[in-house]
Amino acid sequence: MPHRTRPMTGLLVFMGVNLVLASTITPVYDFVCFHPYWERRRERLRKEREAVTANSSQST
């Protein structure tokens, strides 16, 4: 074997990376989900739906 295997070091590095990722998921999730872009998009889509509904009811 060209190098020594170090299972404990590998396990500690793996657990450390998972701990960092798990601790940063909440702020990232909050930033993405509660970004003002989504609120503006929801309002724009609602207005477009209302306009289509109003146009279809006027034409019939």
Alpha carbon distance 4, 18 (integer Å)? 24
Q: What is the pTM of this model?
A: 0.50
Buried-exposed string 22-37: b where 16+ CB fall within 10 A, e elsewhere: eeeeeeeeeeeeeeee
The pLDDT confidence band at residue 41, using thresholds 50, 70 and 90, is: very high
Domain spans, the chain: 25-60
| pLDDT score of 59 more than 80 | no
